């Protein structure tokens, strides 16, 4: 079977070697990492406080924080309390802040399907008007897209298919294709 | 230190015992689970195809599929190919379909920070008009909320704080509080 035949018989014609979901999960596909980031989004910056908030084992927490710093999602900022040695606190970078829609989506799905009967434990509201916020899918033509059934995937400019080199991809991409 | 003092000295006043993010991660905090769901959203329904698409070890895949069925995210539907025994395929339930904003957010963050220089491998477009879709945060008053800095968390009707019973929570919730 040729690579072409293999692709045509694949039930998923959008299967790529360089899947963005898979790459995100390589950094973020682990429960403790998300709990550390939850703390960061709640303004919790210091090791002992993050540990108290996540209940992560100390060594797990150290490893996750180091990885998040290595990946540029958190940055270390030194601080010193009176009479104590200097330590680092952890703050979200822009790359980390950009995880916010994922965090909100995880939370809202949990609110819908996993919350106690009394309702969601925390409600995220718009600072300026106080109304609850929600996640919406919308297209660049300003249409609401409420369901995955209204979404069509297309191969993008960086698509690298099974058995295809990066060089072949760049040669086959139409110049000026939207990135 | 009383429970009240402990709460006031906690750097995160929204720390709850029944966090929706944590509950979601208890089901979905693992890389293979998301890759199985990615396949499902791409219409891949059969064990061998899901295995080919995720490259998950067979036993890992069996365990993840069983868990997703138990949790009501996938349902099994029998099928039979000519001359073969009956098997099950796996389809997303509504509960599973409602994970779509999380999936899109994971993908778009990866597109932004992890993609090859040529650009995103797959682009999600609106079926009706062809424009790319994106995830937006918006409040119920129709304001766009582009940054987590514009979001204020509040304790919700189901908030259960450390050391507080569910009974105390329901007694302290204002009737008619937004769910």
Tell me how far apart the terminal alpha carbons of chain B are, to the nearest angstrom: 32
Do residue A121 and residue B145 have CB atoms under 8 angstroms apart?
A: no
User: How far, rounded to the nearest angstrom, does the alpha carbon of residue A171 sit from its chain's CA centroid?
Assistant: 30
Least CB-CB distance to B137: which of A95, A104, A143?
Answer: A104
pLDDT of B178 reads 41
Q: Do A24 and B110 touch (CB under 8 A)?
A: yes
Give the nearest partner residue to B151 out of A109, A133, A156, using CB atoms.
A133
Please enumerate, as own/partner, the contacts of B143-150 that have beta carbons within 8 Å and a separation of 24 or more. Answer: B143/A126, B143/A128, B143/A129, B143/A131, B145/A126, B145/A133, B147/A97, B147/A100, B148/A41, B148/A97, B148/A100, B149/A127, B150/A126, B150/A127, B150/A128
CB contact, 8 Å: A3 with chain B? no
Mutate to test the interface with A, among B21, B95, B143 (most CBs of A within 10 A): B21
Q: Which of A151, A133, A176, A155 is nearest to B133 (CA)?
A: A151
CB burial of residue A149 (10 Å; 0-12, 13-18, 19+): exposed
Tens-level pLDDT at each residue, chain B (179 residues): 455 555 556 678 788 999 999 999 999 988 999 999 999 999 999 999 999 999 999 999 999 999 999 999 999 999 999 999 999 999 999 999 999 999 999 999 999 999 999 999 999 999 999 999 999 999 999 999 999 999 999 999 999 987 665 555 444 444 443 43
Question: How far is the alpha carbon of A150 from chain B, nearest alpha carbon, in Å?
Answer: 5
Residue A136's beta-bridge partner residues? Answer: B136
* Residue B1: exposure state from Cβ atoms within 10 A (0-12, 13-18, ≥19): exposed
Name the pTM for this structure.
0.87
Q: What are phi and psi of A24, to 5 degrees?
A: -65, -45
Interface test with A, best of B7, B109, B112, B162 (most A CBs within 10 A): B109
Find where tokens 């002992």 sit.
A48
For residue B165, the model assigns a pLDDT of 54
Q: Does B120 touch chain A (CB under 8 A)?
A: yes
Q: Is A171 on the interface with B (CB under 8 A)?
A: no
Decide if B122 contacts A159 (C-beta within 8 A): yes
Q: Best residue in A26, A145, A176 to probe B by mutation, most B CBs within 10 Å?
A: A145
Report the distance separating Cα A66 and Cα A81, nearest Å: 22
Contact A151, B126 (CB under 8 A): yes
Is A150–B127 a contact, with Cβ atoms under 8 angstroms apart? yes
> Residues A17, A162: contact at Cβ < 8 Å?
yes
Give the phi and the psi of residue A83 in degrees, each rounded to 5: 75, 10
Q: In whole angstroms, how large is the CA radius of gyration of chain B?
A: 21
């Amino acid at each position: 079977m040729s690579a072409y035949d293999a692709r045509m018989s694949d039930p998923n014609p959008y299967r790529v070697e360089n899947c963005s979901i898979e790459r995100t999960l390589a950094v973020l596909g682990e429960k403790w990492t998300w709990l550390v980031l939850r703390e960061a989004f709640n303004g919790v910056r210091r090791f002992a406080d993050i540990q108290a908030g996540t209940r992560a084992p100390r060594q797990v927490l150290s490893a996750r924080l180091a990885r998040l710093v290595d990946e540029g999602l958190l940055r270390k900022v030194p601080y010193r309390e009176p009479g104590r040695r200097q330590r680092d606190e952890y703050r979200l970078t822009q790359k980390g802040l950009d995880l916010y829609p994922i965090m909100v989506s995880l939370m809202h799905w949990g609110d819908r399907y996993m919350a106690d009967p009394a309702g969601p434990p925390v409600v995220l509201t718009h600072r300026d008007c106080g109304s609850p916020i929600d996640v919406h899918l919308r297209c660049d033509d300003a249409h609401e897209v409420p369901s995955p059934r209204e979404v069509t995937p297309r191969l993008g400019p960086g698509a690298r298919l099974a058995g295809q080199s990066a060089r072949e991809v760049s040669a086959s991409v139409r110049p000026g294709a939207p990135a």
